[in-house]
């Protein structure tokens, strides 16, 4: 793992790449073959993105104090 980035542009790029990966996974899913584990993985991906958003936001808040 690398060091935390405090550059807003890099943070946005990171989140965009993660969102694009999520969209690619959604596009690749065959609804007929999707099971609960697949849905759990999608939810986990969303949770990870949400966590990163909070982390980036907290860095911004702590730096402005």
Predicted structure pTM score:
0.78
Cα distances (angstroms) measured from residue 44 to each of 7, 14, 21, 37, 54: 25, 17, 13, 10, 15
- Closest C-alpha among 4, 1, 2, 3 to residue 63: 4
Rounded distance, CA 52 to CA 13, Å?
Answer: 12
Q: What is the pLDDT of residues 9-55, one digit of tens each?
A: 999 999 999 999 999 999 999 999 999 999 999 999 999 999 999 99
């Amino acid at each position: 793992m690398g060091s935390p980035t405090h550059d807003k542009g890099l943070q946005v790029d990171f989140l965009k790449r993660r969102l694009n990966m999520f969209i690619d996974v959604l596009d690749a899913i065959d609804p007929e073959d999707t099971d609960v584990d697949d849905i759990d993985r999608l939810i986990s991906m969303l949770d990870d993105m949400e966590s990163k958003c909070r982390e980036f936001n907290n860095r911004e808040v702590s730096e402005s104090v």
